[in-house]
């Protein structure tokens, strides 16, 4: 199965191209799931890949920045440009340095969020880098030999999280946070927040108001309104396939049945599972103390969000995330403590249109 097979798979499941990161030279592939330590794990993938590139350069007499870009391994000028847009300057135009020196500095950023040992800490979000432009070599669509990914020698890994906690975390970070409180601008999710407000609240009656007068401009939807919106975006298989990755079931994102992942870590035991993964990959020098993007919220906080939802919505959520729950041994009782909950099999009409 060559590149054409990869293209066919991406056409059938478009989300795979932004979720899967294969490193063929290391027989390694990661499926990135938003809200499950993906900033830390994609940083690890970048680290493994860039470290491999440094070895390639050191063992070659011809490899320079131009050659690396021509062979679609890495685009260093594009990396420097995108980092500079985020206020991270790695190259001094008055003191040119080698490609290896630049990449070693990037490795330090990935491990410690610092340019070097003596520089101050900086904020670095690895998702601010366009992987397809900077690292074409780990873009799934560019995979030349799809069959190799399915071999027993290939490590296919992902990390999972209780789907109800992941959904609540997405609400807290993406929807229940106003622009003034964000670390980085998120215009897309600000628009989603306002869309939920206009669809599901009384404020949505007049849509011609200017932003200054629009009540939805700085309104935070309730968790129930958010959940109702999520359910409406996954009513059919076609919609489910296009659902926002922050609340799309990860069995869909990663096509779990198709790829049969052979290393599965859990968010609930993240540190121990990460150490096991690093040992399996023979990466002794990763900074396990540096974990990016942890929300800091407690299980009790997330349980409180679900306590306000009516039973029929809980049952529809259970149906949406049923494969995630069953495939990875999660129980809804961990977040919804109701002895009277009785989720009967849904009719086709209910699945498509919800309850009246």
Residues 301 and 167 in one domain: yes
Enclosing domain of residue 219:
163-248+297-334
Q: How many domains does the chain contain in total?
A: 2
pLDDT for 111 = 92
Residues 117 and 190 in one domain: no
pLDDT for 7 = 80
Euclidean distance between CA atoms 306 and 160, whole angstroms: 20
What does the longest C-alpha to C-alpha distance in the chain come to? Answer: 71
- pLDDT tens column, 74-99: 999 999 999 999 999 998 777 778 89
Residues 206 and 327 in one domain: yes
Residues 64 and 211 in one domain: no
Residue 213 lies in a domain: yes
Residues 84 and 104 in one domain: yes
Three-class SS string for the chain?
CCHHHHHHHHHHCCCHHHHEEEEHHHCEEEECCCCCCHHHHHHHHHHHHHHHHHHHHHCCCCCCHHHHHHCCCCCHHHHHHHHHHCCCCCCCCCCCCCHHHHHHHHHHHHHHCCCCCCCCCCCCCHHHCCHHHHCHHHCHHHCCCHHHHCCCCCEEEEEECCHHHHHHHHHHHHHCCCHHHCCCCCHHHHHHHHHHHHHHCHHHHCCCCCCCCCHHHHCCCCHHHHHHHHHHCCCCHHHHHHCCCCCCCHHHHCCHHHHCCCEEEEHHHHHHHHHHHHHHHCCCCCCCCCCCCCCCCCHHHHHHHHHCCCHHHHHHHHHHCHHHHHHCCCCHHHCCCCCCCCCCCCCHHHHHHCCC
Work out the angle at residue 265's Cα, subtended by the Cα atoms of residues 264 and 270, and round it to the nearest 5 degrees: 175
Boundary of a domain, candidates 101, 125, 153: 153
Q: Given pLDDT bands bounded at 50, 70 and 90, which one contains residue 128?
A: very high
Residue 149 lies in a domain: yes
Residue 350 has pLDDT above 80, yes or no: no
Residues 200 and 328 in one domain: yes
Residue 279 lies in a domain: no
- pLDDT tens column, 226-275: 999 999 999 888 899 999 999 999 999 999 999 999 999 999 999 999 99
Residues 168 and 139 in one domain: no
């Amino acid at each position: 199965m060559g590149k054409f097979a990869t293209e066919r798979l991406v056409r059938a499941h478009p989300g795979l191209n932004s979720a899967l990161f294969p490193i063929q030279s290391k027989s390694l592939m990661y499926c990135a799931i938003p809200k499950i330590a993906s900033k830390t794990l994609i940083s690890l993938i970048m680290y493994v890949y860039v470290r491999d590139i440094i070895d390639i350069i050191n063992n070659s007499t011809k490899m320079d920045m131009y050659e690396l870009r021509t062979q679609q391994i890495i685009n260093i000028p594009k990396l420097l440009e995108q980092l500079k847009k985020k206020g991270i300057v790695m190259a001094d135009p008055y003191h040119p340095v080698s490609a290896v020196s630049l990449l070693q500095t990037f490795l330090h950023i990935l491990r410690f969020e610092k340019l070097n040992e003596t520089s101050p800490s900086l904020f670095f979000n690895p998702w601010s880098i366009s992987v397809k432009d900077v690292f074409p070599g780990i873009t799934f669509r560019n995979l030349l030999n799809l069959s190799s990914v399915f071999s027993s020698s290939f490590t296919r890994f992902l990390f999972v999280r209780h789907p109800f906690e992941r959904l609540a975390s997405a609400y807290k970070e993406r929807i229940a946070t106003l622009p003034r409180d964000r670390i980085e601008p998120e215009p897309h999710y600000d628009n989603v927040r306002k869309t939920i407000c206009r669809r599901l609240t009384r404020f949505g009656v007049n849509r011609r108001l200017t932003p200054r007068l629009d009540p939805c401009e700085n309104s935070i939807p309730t968790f129930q309104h958010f959940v109702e919106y999520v359910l409406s975006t996954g009513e059919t298989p076609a919609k489910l396939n296009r659902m926002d990755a922050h609340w799309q079931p990860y069995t869909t994102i990663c096509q779990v049945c198709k790829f049969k992942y052979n290393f599965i870590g859990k968010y609930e035991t993240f540190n121990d599972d990460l150490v096991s993964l690093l040992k399996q990959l023979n990466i002794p020098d990763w900074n396990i103390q540096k974990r990016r993007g942890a929300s800091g919220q407690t299980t009790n906080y997330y349980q409180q969000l679900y306590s306000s939802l009516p039973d029929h919505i809980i049952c529809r959520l259970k149906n949406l995330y049923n494969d995630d729950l069953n495939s990875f041994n999660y129980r809804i009782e961990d977040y919804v403590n109701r002895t009277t909950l009785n989720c009967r099999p849904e009719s086709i009409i209910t699945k498509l249109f919800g309850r009246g």
